[in-house]
């Protein structure tokens, strides 16, 4: 047997080793599909508890997070606003003004819902709107104003003819007396013009503060708060006040809002009361200001059922005015004959 010199043997060994290394690099180790080395190796056994711990912690964290999220999400599905009692004035003012801002976004087109072309028509229409809807008044007044366009004409009318014309508004005999007395007072005391001052307006027969404020705010541009049934109900639901007295409510609201907001605030609140926040069954589940409302849940909270309660343009129905302003997104009311 031929002996290999020691030096050569070393070189040969090195070459073989190098060749093996190259082969090893070229062929990456195959992963076993059956073996579970990590479970068997001591190292893996050592690591497993930590991993399990971590996993448990993560799981716990996720569960806790989810629970918190669910807890936090609950108010959005039932968001009745809690108000700490007694509420500070600052908090009340902030809440009230925020509701006004959000209502302005919901009803950017809010307006008086009586059709009128001059202060006299608005005054008469407002008196006729007692105990009936603005829609019914709007369907009635075109014929009345066509027959008696001025206070002088109405004051000189035959009462029975007026009664017949305004019959659809209800209480037509009493209302005939009111509007004819009003027309006579305008003719005799104000030269046939509607006065633009609260003090004069409230002295006219059948004209209270509410009617006077409607006329001032909408025919003269003089800011006024109109506390009607909707206004009173909503401000009580929002806990701005618990008063039932329209004059007290008016004074309180005048204190909370700047004068420049008064007229539009009144329209927005009345719009909301007529469309969404109804007296008997408010549509809480479809109310865009539910998150600000301490009375959420007083009405229907199921979104689908609530949607069906919406009225006028919010419910895809005609509005109250036969001649709505151009920015009104709904449709005009039908005239009486077609109703």
Positions marked catalytic: 210, 228
**Bridge partners of 331?**
318
**Per CB under 6 A, does 287 bind ligand SF4?**
yes
The contact pattern for ligand SF4, residues 211-250, with x = CB under 6 A and - = no contact, is --------------------------x-------------
Q: What is the C-alpha separation between 263 and 274, in angstroms, rounded?
A: 17
Q: What is the C-alpha separation between 86 and 95, in angstroms, rounded?
A: 14
Q: CA quadruple 254, 255, 260, 262: dihedral positive or negative? A: negative
**Per CB under 6 A, does 107 bind ligand SF4?**
no
**Per CB under 6 A, does 276 bind ligand SF4?**
yes
Task: Using CB under 6 A, count the residues that bind ligand SF4.
Answer: 14
| Residue 326, helix vs strand vs coil | coil
Helices 89-106, 246-256: axis angle to 10 degrees equals 90
| 116/238 with CB nearer ligand SF4 | 238
Other C-beta atoms lying within 10 Å of the C-beta of residue 116:
23
Applying CB under 6 A, which part among 141-149, 244-252, 256-264, 277-285 lies near ligand SF4? Answer: 277-285
**Per CB under 6 A, does 324 bind ligand SF4?**
no
Token couple for 326: 């151009």
Could you say which of 122, 290, 309, 333 contacts ligand SF4 (CB under 6 A)?
A: 290
Question: Is 254 part of any known ligand binding site?
Answer: no
**Per CB under 6 A, does 277 bind ligand SF4?**
yes
Q: Would you give the DSSP letter of residue 329?
A: -
**Per CB under 6 A, does 92 bind ligand SF4?**
no
**Per CB under 6 A, does 270 bind ligand SF4?**
no
Q: CA quadruple 39, 45, 47, 52: dihedral positive or negative? A: positive
Angle (CA) 134 98 211, round 5°: 30
Applying CB under 6 A, which part among 29-37, 205-213, 284-292, 320-328 lies near ligand SF4? Answer: 284-292
Residues 115, 322: contact at Cβ < 8 Å?
yes
Q: What is the C-alpha separation between 334 and 339, in angstroms, rounded?
A: 6
- For the segment 298-317, give every residue that binds ligand SF4 (CB under 6 A): 298-299
Enumerate binding residues for ligand SF4 (CB under 6 A): 237, 276-277, 282-284, 287, 289-290, 293, 295-296, 298-299
- Binding site for [4Fe-4S] cluster: what residues are annotated? 277, 284, 287, 293
């Amino acid at each position: 047997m031929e002996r290999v010199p020691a030096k050569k043997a070393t070189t040969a060994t090195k070459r073989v080793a190098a060749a093996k290394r190259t082969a090893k690099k070229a062929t990456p180790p195959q992963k076993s599909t059956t073996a579970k080395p990590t479970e068997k190796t001591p190292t893996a056994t050592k690591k497993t508890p930590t991993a399990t711990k971590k996993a448990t912690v993560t799981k716990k964290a996720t569960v806790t997070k989810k629970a918190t999220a669910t807890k936090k999400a609950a108010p959005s599905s039932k968001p009745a606003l809690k108000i700490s009692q007694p509420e500070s004035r600052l908090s009340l003012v902030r809440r009230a003004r925020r509701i006004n801002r959000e209502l302005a976004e919901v009803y950017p087109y809010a307006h008086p819902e009586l059709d009128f072309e001059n202060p006299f028509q608005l005054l008469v229409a407002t008196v006729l709107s007692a105990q009936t809807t603005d829609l019914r008044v709007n369907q009635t007044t075109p014929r009345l104003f066509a027959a008696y366009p001025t206070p002088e004409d109405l004051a000189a009318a035959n009462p029975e003819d007026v009664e017949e014309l305004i019959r659809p508004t209800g209480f037509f005999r009493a209302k005939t007396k009111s509007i004819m007395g009003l027309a006579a007072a305008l003719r005799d005391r104000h030269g046939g013009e509607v006065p633009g001052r609260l003090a004069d307006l409230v002295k006219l027969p059948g004209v209270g503060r509410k009617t006077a404020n409607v006329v001032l705010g909408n025919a003269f541009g003089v800011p006024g708060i109109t506390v009607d049934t909707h206004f009173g109900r909503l401000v009580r639901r929002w806990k701005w006040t618990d008063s039932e007295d329209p004059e007290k409510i008016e004074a309180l609201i005048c204190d909370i809002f700047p004068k420049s907001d008064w007229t539009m605030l009144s329209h927005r609140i009345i719009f909301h009361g007529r469309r969404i926040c109804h007296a008997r069954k408010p549509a809480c589940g479809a109310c865009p200001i539910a998150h600000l409302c301490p009375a959420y849940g007083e009405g229907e909270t199921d979104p689908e059922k609530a949607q069906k309660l919406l009225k006028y343009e919010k419910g895809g129905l005609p509005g109250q005015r036969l001649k709505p302003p151009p920015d009104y997104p709904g449709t005009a009311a039908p005239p009486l004959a077609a109703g």
